[in-house]
């Protein structure tokens, strides 16, 4: 009977098979360690570079995870915007007052603060009983989520879907304006985490007895709505970043 060959090297040591994917014993990646003084030094496989690569990847992953956690803990960059203290007081709206009459006392419809968002709303009258306008301003500061994906679709849904919203260049990150021929106009602005909306409407009296249609707003007043609203919106945005 033929016996199995003995796995014994020239020096009497049992050779260690190389790891999977490494050159066999005697390849160029084998290094000679220092002798022990009698010249009978052994040979061993070189260090495995892929262990260093795996270790580096793990360290990088840990650093990335730590950075992500720190970002989530800190929250998104609010771009200098703060919670409104008193939106009716902070929104002077001088351009609208100059165009449509003396600014009356504003009414704060909403003033709320939450860990996820701050929001405020204010209604302001302009002019006299014979010729008056009303402005409704809202401000929402998103402190946890990005309002961007939902901003533009909101301009084409609901009660305003019949309006033709047009982009306004140079105002915030994105802005849209729309108006009709009955004295209503809207301006919506997205600036980072802040969403601001300004609506302006002409107030007309309707005689229920005669049922006569109210007189349409002055054409010059309609033509200047966009410029006045954009100018005042810039001032409101600057105030909310102070």
81 lies in some domain: no
Distance, CA of 156 to CA of 185 (rounded, Å): 15
Q: What is the pLDDT of residue 75?
A: 80
124 lies in some domain: yes
First to last CA, the chain: 96
Q: What is the pLDDT of residue 218?
A: 77
Same domain, 27 and 134: no
Same domain, 16 and 105: no
Residue where a domain terminates, one of 16, 45, 74 = 74
106 lies in some domain: yes
Residue 148: which H helix or E strand, with range? helix 148-151
Residues of the domain holding 164: 87-240
List the pLDDT tens digit at each of the 242 positions of the chain. 444 444 444 555 555 555 554 555 544 444 444 555 455 555 555 555 544 455 555 555 555 444 444 444 568 999 999 999 999 999 999 999 999 999 999 898 888 888 999 999 999 999 987 779 999 999 999 999 999 998 877 655 655 667 888 999 999 999 999 998 888 999 999 999 999 999 999 987 655 666 666 666 777 778 899 999 999 999 999 999 98
82 lies in some domain: no
Same domain, 137 and 68: no
Q: What is the pLDDT of residue 56?
A: 55
| Number of domains present in the structure of the chain | 2
15 lies in some domain: yes
Same domain, 160 and 220: yes
174 lies in some domain: yes
Same domain, 70 and 98: no
In this structure, the number of other CB atoms found within 10 A of the CB of residue 156 comes to 13
Pairing state between β 44-45 and 107-113: unpaired
- H/E/C letters for each residue in 169-237? CCCCCEEEEEECCCCEEEEEEEECCEEEEEEEEEECCCCCCCCCCCCCCCHHHHHCHHHHHHHHHHHHH
42 lies in some domain: yes
Tell me the pLDDT tens digit for each residue of 136-153: 999 999 999 999 998 877
Residue where a domain terminates, one of 74, 101, 123 = 74
Q: What is the pLDDT of residue 8?
A: 47
Q: What is the pLDDT of residue 118?
A: 95
Burial class from Cβ neighbours inside 10 Å (0-12, 13-18, 19+) for residue 171 reads buried
Same domain, 228 and 119: yes
Same domain, 188 and 225: yes
Same domain, 60 and 124: no
79 lies in some domain: no
Same domain, 55 and 132: no
Q: What is the pLDDT of residue 19?
A: 52
Residue where a domain terminates, one of 45, 74, 103 = 74
Q: What is the pLDDT of residue 109?
A: 81
Q: Residue 196: which CATH number?
A: 3.40.1000
- 81 and 241 Cβ atoms separated by less than 8 Å: yes
Same domain, 100 and 54: no
Place of tokens 């915007």: 81
Same domain, 205 and 173: yes
Q: Which of 81, 61, 79 is nearest to 242 (CA)?
A: 81
Same domain, 102 and 212: yes
């Amino acid at each position: 009977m033929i016996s199995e060959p003995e796995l014994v090297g020239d020096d009497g040591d049992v050779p260690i098979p190389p790891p999977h994917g490494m050159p066999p014993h005697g390849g160029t990646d084998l290094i000679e360690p220092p002798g022990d003084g009698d010249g009978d030094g052994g040979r061993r496989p070189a260090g495995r570079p892929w262990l260093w690569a795996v270790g580096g990847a793990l360290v990088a992953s840990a650093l990335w995870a730590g950075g992500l956690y720190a970002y989530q803990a800190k929250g998104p960059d609010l771009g200098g915007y703060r919670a409104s203290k008193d939106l009716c007081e902070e929104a002077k709206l001088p351009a609208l007052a100059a165009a449509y009459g003396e600014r009356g006392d504003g009414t704060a419809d909403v003033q709320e603060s939450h860990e996820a968002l701050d929001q405020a709303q204010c209604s302001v009258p302009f002019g006299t009983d014979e010729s008056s306008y009303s402005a409704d301003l809202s401000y929402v500061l998103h402190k946890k989520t990005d309002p961007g994906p939902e901003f533009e679709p909101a301009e084409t849904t609901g009660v305003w879907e019949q309006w033709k919203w047009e982009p306004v260049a140079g105002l915030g990150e994105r802005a849209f304006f729309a108006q009709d021929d009955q004295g209503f106009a809207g301006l919506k602005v997205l600036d980072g985490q802040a969403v601001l909306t300004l609506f302006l409407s002409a107030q007309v009296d309707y005689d229920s007895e005669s049922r006569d249609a109210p007189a349409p707003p002055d054409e010059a007043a309609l033509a200047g709505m966009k410029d006045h609203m954009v100018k005042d919106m810039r001032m409101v945005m600057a105030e909310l970043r102070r």
